[in-house]
Structure formats: structure tokens, C-alpha cells
Amino acid sequence: MIVPELPSDIRDLKAAVGRFIETEVYPHEQRIAERGSIDAAEVDELRRRAREAGFSMLNMPAEHGGRELSMLGQVALEEESGKATNGLGFAVVDRGPRELLEIATPEQAERWIAPIIRGEYREAWAVTEPGAGSDVAGIRATATRDGDDWLIDGEKWFVTSEGDPGFYIVLALAGGEQTLFLVEPNAPGLEIVRTPGFLHDPYLDHHPEIVFRGCRVPDANRIPEGGGEGAKEWFTVERLFIAARCCGAAERLLDLASAYAQEREAFGSKIADYQGVSFPLADSLTELLAARLLTYHAAHAFDELANRKIVHGKVAMAKLYASEMAGRAADRALQILGGRGYMTESPAARFYRELRVDRIWEGTSEIQRLIIANGLFKRGAAPYLGWE
């Protein structure tokens, strides 16, 4: 099956998340636009209501309080979360660290992951460095054994964090091997240098810069194996989710611009009657469908294919196309909405700023093209076009 159909239970869950986003989240967006900042207490309440509605930790195994939702199901929900601005969708479709759970020891799962599932705190991934962004293989942070501990030295940028995390998942070289360490925020030798502002602010996530200077971490906090592969799997999942959220954002933008075009009059006619307005909307709808089908296809491949290199390539295609599609959709919508779309109170203005980073983080568009091209040269086109 090249493009899977969503099962009825997933369609129902997707619709429920969509209604929650529209009724509970959109009003938050307006308040944020008015005051220029996010109220942490309001977000906590939003997350609590989403948990009560059953939208949290659905990706986790049943024995860990989840529903073990397929990747296709998760992508369908992420698509709805992408319709929210300011990153508020993250508080609604709140997934657990499944990739970490699969490589952590049972003791680590109980100590670090169980509190996340209970909603006590969030984790933060610290992978990117000043000299290693999309090139994860180029990281230089090191971990040196010191008795029963490890000493971590290095610098991490663009750490993915919301508020005060319960711990950092740090990728470092231990004996030359990429290894993951679970590091408490108050660990000696860990310093948050600064938290820079970004074009998409105010946003739920923030991305501090952290320095580790002989940061002492017990050996019990070291993921015993699979650190490099675990980080790669996390990137693959995040790229899929970016593609899904871009589809959701583009759909909301398309609806906003289409509704406005059918109401707004200029020169004696609705502006929707002018091809200069209707044709860009037709392009956005066509590209959105293509992006959605590609994203669903990649998600189904994630669930079904054993060859992770093929999956990696399909996900790269989805992330590349959907993120660039959403950027075009935002530009077209803003142009059609005109001055109204340019006001900060408009979702179109917020999306215009927020969607730009989707072509950068978790692997730039150029890196996605490199992954796709390398896969083509090594394996040919056929494996990426079907299920072979």
C-alpha cells in the first residue's frame, strides 16, 4: 500500500484533537499575541486538560501507560497539533520519549522516564553543537571515565527544552563511541550560558546554550548501548513530525486565505474571482495533498519496513517537501490576506515566522537532499518508490 488509509479509531482521535485545538488552543494564541508572551500557568492547565482528554503519551507501550499508537497514528495527531501557533500543539499531543525507552535499562526507565509519563516533568535533548548541527557525526563533546563516574566536557547549542526540564539527554563521545547520558540540570559542571531569542518567539519551546566543564555523571546515567542509533532514530521521528505539523499549518493557512478571498471585495468583485488570487490557492491545495500523502507514506514505512535506511530516506523526502511546501503556503496566504495577515494578531503572520525554522532544525533542507541523493546513488529509485 503506497498511501495507507487511516483506521477509523485514528480518524476519530484525530478529529477529537482537532476540535480541542480549535476550542481550547486558538483562544490562547490570541492572548499570547496581545501580551507578547506565554503564560506558563495557562500552558500547564492546557496540558492538564489535554491529558484528561486522553491525548498524552499515546505513543508509549501499554505497560508504560500508553496506547502504543502506530507512527501513522502519531503523525495524524501531529498534523492537527501543527494547526496551532506558538508551539502550543506540543502541550496537547504530548508524546513520551519512546526512542529513549527502547535503549534505556529498566532501572533508567523507572528513574527517568516514568515521571515523564506521569506528567511530572519533561526531558530535553542536547545534541547539536557549535560545530555540529545537521552533521551529528561531527560532535566533539567528550565523556571521560573517572572511577564510577563520567566527566562530560563540551558545548551544546539549540537544546530542545520547555521550561525547566527534569533532565538532559546528552550525546557525547565516550571512548570514541557516540553515547547518551542522562544529566540532571543541577549536575556539577553544567552551566546554561544563555537562552537566545528566535524569530518564532514567543514559542513554547526554548533553546538554551549549555556548557559542560568536567560535568560529573554517574555511570548509572549512561545509556549502555545504542546511543548513536538512538539519536538517529530520534531525528528520524522528529523529521516526520515536522512534516506532519507543516501539513497541519498549511491546511489552516489555506482555510484562512480561502475564506478571506471569498469575502473580500475589490474592484467590484470578490477577490477569489481573480486568477491572481485563486491560482496560488489552487497551488497550495495541490502541494498540501502531495505533502500529506508523502508524509503518511513515510509514516507507514516507519511502521512496516525493516530497512531503516530506506525509511530514513522516505522521511527525508517528507520533511523536505512538507517544510518547503508550508513556507510557500504561508507566503501565499499572507499575500492574499494583505495587511490583515501582516498584523501580529493574525495566525498567518505567526505561521510566516514560525514555519521558517522547519527548513533548518532537525536537519536542513540541504541535508535532506543529501540523504535522498545518497540513497538514490546507492540503491536506485525503486526501493524509495514502493515497499521493496
CATH code, domain carrying 64 = 1.10.540.10
pLDDT (0 to 100) of residue 134: 73
CB-based contact 108:264 (threshold 8 Å): no
Residues 232 and 361 in one domain: yes
Residue 103 sits in the same domain as residue 51:
yes
pLDDT at residue number 130? 93
165 and 101 assigned to the same domain: no
For residues 232 and 380, state if they share a domain. Answer: yes
Q: What is the pLDDT at residue 229? A: 84
Residue numbers of the domain that contains 132: 123-221
Q: Are residues 189 and 256 in the same domain?
A: no
Question: pLDDT value at position 55?
Answer: 95
Pairing between β-strand 167-174 and β-strand 123-126 as defined by DSSP bridges: parallel
186: DSSP letter: T
Last residue of a domain, one of 194, 221, 248: 221
CA distance 146 to 143: 9
Same domain, 283 and 307: yes
> Among 70, 88, 117, where does a domain finish?
117
Helix (H) or strand (E) run with residue 145 in it: strand 142-146
Residue 1 lies in a domain: no
- pLDDT under 50 in the chain at which residues? none
Residues β-bridged to residue 149: 146, 218
Q: Does 2 map to a domain?
A: no
Burial category of 166 from C-beta neighbours within 10 Å (exposed 0-12, middle 13-18, buried 19 and up)? middle
pLDDT value, residue 1? 61
Give the model's pLDDT for residue 387. 64
Per-residue model confidence (pLDDT) at position 242: 98
Same domain, 20 and 35: yes
Is 362 noted as a catalytic residue in this protein? yes
Same domain for 244 and 325, yes or no, is: yes
Phi then psi for 134, rounded to 5 degrees?
Answer: -65, -25
CATH code at position 310: 1.20.140.10
- CATH (domain of 170): 2.40.110.10
**Would you state the pLDDT for residue 3?**
74
Decide if 284 contacts 254 (C-beta within 8 A): yes
Catalytic position from the list 78, 362, 366, 388: 362
Grid coordinates standing for 43? 500552558
Strand partners, 218: 149
Q: What is the DSSP string of 280-336?
A: HHHHHHHHHHHHHHHHHHHHHHHHH-S-HHHHHHHHHHHHHHHHHHHHHHHHHHHHH
Residues 215 and 354 in one domain: no
